[in-house]
Amino acid sequence: ANVAAKYLGEEGARTPVDFACVVGNPWDLPHINRKLPYIVTNTLATNLQEFQHSKAAKFVEGSDKISNKDVLAAKTIKQYDEAFLRRHFGYASVGDYYRDGSSIAYIKAVRVPMLAVNALDDPVVHWTGLPFDELASNPYTAFITTRTGGHLGWFQTSDRRNREKGASSVDQRWICNLIRGFFDLAVGMEGEQGGESDLDTPRETLPRHQKTQQHVGGGGGGGAGS
């Protein structure tokens, strides 16, 4: 999500993308990293170390900048990024790496309709780092926050009727229905324009910011949205 939002801001009206949705985006990486609970950042670091063994070892071999010992000793995501990623990409500090990789600074340059969705109880993306003002000031972006939902969760409470109908796991996730509805609306509006996309004019698809308390569960799921 962070990469997608940053790309849309970097490309502006040049992008071939007509509309987009970003979910659970960390937006401001320095701020989010400071707010990460230890159990979360430690788990992320452990997962990346497993990836290091299987996929990323070739980036360390023969490097005079990266120590595999330091990478495998990392206890937090910041320690991992300091030992590996910021050195691999040539940044002077992990702070520089985070600031340069954050999509928050690129929101103002987005020039296609973009829906952003974050849960206020997300254990990975702390709500104090959400870009309310930045998203509200761009007419091309719409922002929805939910009271619950976790990190990429938004599971709806299963009831007997859903089980009897054999509802799929997708149908029981509020976020999937929201995204599907947004894209259906966006495609329909584009069809009304004869298949042409006027990237110089923002299309009103949703309110600038909507805080909702949909019937969603608090459980998170999936990987990091960065």
Statement to judge: residues 11 and 40 lie in one domain: no
Statement to judge: residues 106 and 179 lie in one domain: yes
Q: What is the model's pTM?
A: 0.76
Statement to judge: residues 24 and 108 lie in one domain: yes
Statement to judge: residues 67 and 142 lie in one domain: no
Statement to judge: residues 92 and 178 lie in one domain: no
Mean pLDDT by 10 residues, the chain (226 residues): 97 95 96 92 88 66 78 92 92 96 97 96 95 96 94 77 56 84 84 51 46 38 30
pLDDT at 165: 59
Statement to judge: residues 183 and 74 lie in one domain: no
The number of folded domains in the chain is 2
* Contacts of 37 by beta carbon, 8 Å cutoff, 6+ apart: 123
Q: Would you give the distance in Å from CA 98 to the centre of its chain? A: 14
Alpha-carbon gap, residue 23 to 29, rounded angstroms: 15
Quote the tokens at residue 74: 């990392």
pLDDT at 186: 85
Statement to judge: residues 21 and 37 lie in one domain: no
- Specify if 218 maps to a domain: no
- Specify if 8 maps to a domain: yes
* Contacts of 154 by beta carbon, 8 Å cutoff, 6+ apart: 119, 146, 173, 174, 175, 214, 216, 217
List the beta bridge partners of residue 119.
Answer: 146
What is the CB neighbour count within 10 angstroms for residue 38?
9
Range of the domain at 20: 1-28+102-155+172-187
Statement to judge: residues 108 and 21 lie in one domain: yes
Statement to judge: residues 108 and 120 lie in one domain: yes
pLDDT at 8: 97
Alpha-carbon gap, residue 136 to 171, rounded angstroms: 30
Interior/surface letters 109-139, b for 16+ CB within 10 angstroms, e for the rest: ebbbbbbbbbbbbbbbbbeebbbeebbeebe
Statement to judge: residues 80 and 109 lie in one domain: no
Statement to judge: residues 34 and 18 lie in one domain: no
pLDDT at 217: 31
Statement to judge: residues 122 and 150 lie in one domain: yes
